[in-house]
Amino acid sequence: MNQVGMAALTSKAEAVPQGKKIAFWIVTLLLAAAITLSGIGQLMQYGGNLELVSKIGYPTYVLTILGIWKVLGAFALILPGFPRLKEWVHAGIFFLMTGAALSHGFADDYGSYGFNLILPLFYAALNIASWALRPMSRKL
């Protein structure tokens, strides 16, 4: 096969469908926005965060730790480069959100209509979708 034919095959193999790129960015930006707002709310101890943490028996300083990690992690997801850091952020968000759902479940703090379980699990699902849709440049 000649050089032109090989180049065409290579470019087709590396091409990512436009729909997948759009889906990745929509899901990732939604995830980053949700995590950022959640982190800021925890840092400011706003919107019932104190009550949520107190109900499940965690000390209030956990809000500061989680808030800082969430804001930094959301920025890391959006910034270009650093694929290993992005892998760690995705893992951290997954463990954080599933841990939050389990903590509320074990403390019998389901919230209205199970909101305290559904919201963190929804964020975990967004995180999995963002990770699964990531382009080759963001993979290890």
pLDDT per residue over 38-69, tens digit each? Answer: 999 999 998 788 988 988 999 999 999 999 99
CB 102 within 8 A of CB 72: no
Alpha-carbon distances, residue 135 vs 4, 92, 99, 100, 124 (angstroms): 25, 20, 27, 28, 19
Gap between the Cα atoms of 6 and 14, Å rounded: 12
Per-residue pLDDT reduced to its tens digit, 3-50: 655 554 455 545 668 999 999 999 999 999 999 999 999 999 987 889
